[in-house]
Structure 1
Amino acid sequence: MSWMVFYKLLAIFIAVAIGWFVGRMRWLGQADAGGSGGDPARVLSNAAFYIFVPALLFRTTARVDFAVMPWPTLLAFFIPVMLLMLAVYAWQRWRGTGTAAMPATRAITTVFGNTLQVGVPVAAGVFGESGLAIHITVVSLHALSLLTVLTLLVELDLARERSREAPAGLVATLKTTLRNTVIHPVVLPVVAGLLWNALGLGLPAVVDEVLATLGTAVVPLCLTLIGMSLAYYGWPQRWRGMLGLVFLKLMVLPALVLALAHWGLGLSGQPLAVIVMMGALPVGSNALIFAQRYRTLEGETTAAIVLSTLLFVVTAPLWLALLALL
């Protein structure tokens, strides 16, 4: 692994440590600030979820050029990702334990990689400018596809739970699910961005600058948020489930991408290597924002992000060595 990637990982841990220290010192307030059971970590998460992430998603979808997308490469990545995500979701639903939002939260932890803070330096440092171009292309659809599908699933689960507590007809349940899915801080900017893109209007310079400025806050905010969440929620008491999610993310997902892309679709060379390493990335901070949005498994998701990032230092060279053999 190159020194540039190592320094990026080190910078990530320093940013997380700063967030942990601020949370540990309670400089931004106590966990029960205001008497409402909230905490500063959740306030920061809401700021990211309602302001900065929507700005980033709208700008990305409004500017993406679908005409030049390398669709075989994208399919080779997203098919195994979606299959694993739905498999984890279905398994958690079948087990039927925990809250209604637990299946979707564990599913996003399993497949949502850190494509920016870790993925960009890995792609640039290992594969160069051409590899980075492939990586950025996949990133442009990463949050768009995964967050949209998972939002639909979790809102459907929450609607089912509400209908059990206060029985409602099928039509009413579907209307509630559709409304909560579309009028959502993740899905709504994606839909709006796609419509804007389809109209071919282009973003005015001032609007583009505002969205870009808001979008740049996502990375530092999410990194410090991980540290603060560790300080407020602590490590999960049960490690088995979290370790299983980390294993699926670091080992099973890239193996599935490699198998389908190379032996299933005949992909090889740099495109194959880029998407396999993208599958091998540690858990991304958007998984924590998702968990905090639905108030479930915050501690487990935070621990999975930190542990997977630590283990990535070991697993990344293994995948790079395997790809070199191919």
Structure 2
Amino acid sequence: MNSFVIPSLLPVVVLIAAGYLAGRRRWIGGNAVKDLSNLIFLLLAPALLFRAMSTVHVQELSLKPVAAYFIASGLLFAGTLALRGFNRTAAVIALANTYSNTVMIGIVLVGLAYGEQGMVVLLTLISLHSLVLLTSATVVLELAVAREHAAVSGEEKRPMARTVLRALRNAIIHPVPMPIIAGLLFAQTGLVMPEFLDKPILLLGQAFGPVALVMVGITLALTPIGRHWRDATVQALVKNLLHPLLVAGIGWLLGVRGIPLTVMVVAAALPIGANVFLFSQRYRTSEDLVTASVAVSTVLALATLTLVMILVQWLP
């Protein structure tokens, strides 16, 4: 039953380990991480995403699996707020519980394990992932901040409508959803990409996987965990195990089956995405805990992803 799981995960593990070694040896220092990240997200990822979607027709897409993912994520997000209260810290923790590293790890893993069919399902999710989760988190965080400001006399309330519109714009005009949308629109024209353009785009896309995974390893090597490792471990287990369990349950209730359900569950089992750390920095809350949680979640994913990918095969 698990014959394909280990061969799919091993290249991911080896490349992350290579990046970790490079980071520990300081072959790539902290100052170069931002530049490497820009290379991945502004050049390599758009090439891969555009080309992957440039032959996909709209009728091939199914939104029910994506709906199951977001319903489960919404329940987990709301449950976190209910337990921790309506404040900035709770909102950032809730985002960490639901926001997966679908690009840097997910694309490579799903491509290796589930092929082209799985990639179409994952890229449908990725095209909406940041738009839905980051925009929702921004609205909640801004409402929490507005509530804090309202408690201080003389403080001017922040314009929520402008904040929401800015969040929507930033989520759409982004190097991840934009090439997916552009590739999908190109596919509907029926045109074929000229080889002199298609070949360089293909080569750039092929570079994404190894470079992105090496980058994950470098980031792990440079990330301090410190005294937050216990709380970070709890946070990681919620993300890596509870999130996919909820997605599996909601997907099953909605009648999602086969590869679409499998990919959604595996996507939910992916470790915490780095954007959560950016939110913790922006709103100045739980930076150390989120940093440690991203690192612990990524390390634990080597075991938890294996477990989830084996168990998900038993779903009818």
Range of TM-score over shorter length:
0.7 to 0.9
1:35 aligns to what? Answer: none
* Separation in 1, partners of 2:41, 2:214: 15
1:126 aligns to what? Answer: none
Matched, 1:60 2:43: no
TM-score (norm 2): 0.74
For structure 1, which segment, 191-200 or 47-56, has the greater mean C-alpha deviation from structure 2 after superposition?
A: 191-200
2:275 aligns to what? Answer: 290
Would you say how many aligned residue pairs link Structure 1 and Structure 2?
298
Secondary structure class of the residue paired with 2:198:
helix
* Separation in 2, partners of 1:306, 1:91: 25
TM-score (norm 1): 0.72
Q: Measured at CA, do residues 120 and 219 of structure 1 come closer, stay the same or move farther in structure 2, by a change above 3 Å?
A: same
Q: Measured at CA, do residues 159 and 44 of structure 1 come closer, stay the same or move farther in structure 2, by a change above 3 Å?
A: farther
1:225 aligns to what? Answer: 215
2:262 aligns to what? Answer: 276
1:117 aligns to what? Answer: 108
Q: Measured at CA, do residues 244 and 80 of structure 1 come closer, stay the same or move farther in structure 2, by a change above 3 Å?
A: farther
- State whether residues 105 and 212 of structure 2, in contact with CA within 8 Å, keep that contact through their aligned partners in structure 1: no
2:98 aligns to what? Answer: 107
* Separation in 2, partners of 1:112, 1:243: 22
2:179 aligns to what? Answer: 189
- State whether residues 240 and 305 of structure 2, in contact with CA within 8 Å, keep that contact through their aligned partners in structure 1: yes
Task: Give how far 1:97 is off.
Answer: 4.1
2:284 aligns to what? Answer: none
- Residues 208-252 of structure 1: per-residue CA shift (max 9 Å, x gap): 333322222221122112211111113364345544454445544
2:67 aligns to what? Answer: 79
Alignment of 1:226-265 (within 5 A): 226-235=216-225, 237-239=227-229, 241-262=231-252, 264-265=254-255
Structure 1 counterpart of 2:50, one-letter code:
F
Q: Measured at CA, do residues 300 and 45 of structure 1 come closer, stay the same or move farther in structure 2, by a change above 3 Å?
A: farther
* Separation in 2, partners of 1:303, 1:264: 32
Task: Give how far 1:175 is off.
Answer: 4.3
Q: Measured at CA, do residues 13 and 211 of structure 1 come closer, stay the same or move farther in structure 2, by a change above 3 Å?
A: same
Secondary structure class of the residue paired with 1:185:
coil
* Separation in 1, partners of 2:223, 2:203: 30
Of 14, 36, 47, which aligns to 2:39? Answer: 47
* Separation in 2, partners of 1:154, 1:263: 26
- State whether residues 113 and 281 of structure 1, in contact with CA within 8 Å, keep that contact through their aligned partners in structure 2: no
Q: Measured at CA, do residues 56 and 316 of structure 1 come closer, stay the same or move farther in structure 2, by a change above 3 Å?
A: closer
For structure 1, which segment, 161-170 or 213-222, has the greater mean C-alpha deviation from structure 2 after superposition?
A: 161-170
- State whether residues 142 and 160 of structure 2, in contact with CA within 8 Å, keep that contact through their aligned partners in structure 1: no
What 5-or-longer segments of structure 2 have no aligned partner?
Answer: 150-154, 282-286
1:21 aligns to what? Answer: 21
What 5-or-longer segments of structure 1 have no aligned partner?
Answer: 32-38, 124-131
Of 139, 150, 156, which aligns to 2:122? Answer: 139
- State whether residues 19 and 224 of structure 1, in contact with CA within 8 Å, keep that contact through their aligned partners in structure 2: yes
- Residues 165-200 of structure 1: per-residue CA shift (max 9 Å, x gap): 985534543443344233322233344334434444
Q: Measured at CA, do residues 154 and 314 of structure 1 come closer, stay the same or move farther in structure 2, by a change above 3 Å?
A: closer
Q: Measured at CA, do residues 205 and 100 of structure 1 come closer, stay the same or move farther in structure 2, by a change above 3 Å?
A: farther
Q: Measured at CA, do residues 112 and 27 of structure 1 come closer, stay the same or move farther in structure 2, by a change above 3 Å?
A: closer
* Separation in 2, partners of 1:185, 1:162: 28
Q: Measured at CA, do residues 176 and 256 of structure 1 come closer, stay the same or move farther in structure 2, by a change above 3 Å?
A: closer
Q: Measured at CA, do residues 176 and 147 of structure 1 come closer, stay the same or move farther in structure 2, by a change above 3 Å?
A: closer
State the percentage of identical aligned residues: 22
RMSD: 3.7
2:301 aligns to what? Answer: 308
